[in-house]
Homo-oligomer: A and B are copies of this chain.
Amino acid sequence: MHKKIVLALVASASLAGAAHAQQALKPEQAIKYRQAAYSYISWNMGRIKANVSGANYNKSEVILAANVISAIANSGMGALYIPGSDKDVGGVKTSVKPEFFAKPQDAARLAQRFTQEATELAKVAASGDAAAVKAQFDKVGGTCKACHDDFKVKN
Contact = CB atoms under 8 A, between A and B. Distances in A.
Interface of A: 15, 18-19, 22-23, 29, 32-33, 35-37, 39-40, 42-44, 46-47, 50-51, 54, 56, 58, 61, 64-65, 67-68, 70-72, 74-76, 79-80
A19 B49 CA distance: 11
Shortest Cβ-Cβ A-B pairs, 3 listed: A71-B71, A36-B39, A22-B50
Which one of A36, A72, A79 has the highest number of Cβ atoms from chain B below 10 Å of its Cβ? A36
B23 A47 contact: yes
A37 B72 CA distance: 10
A121 to B, nearest CB: 13
A46 B23 CA distance: 7
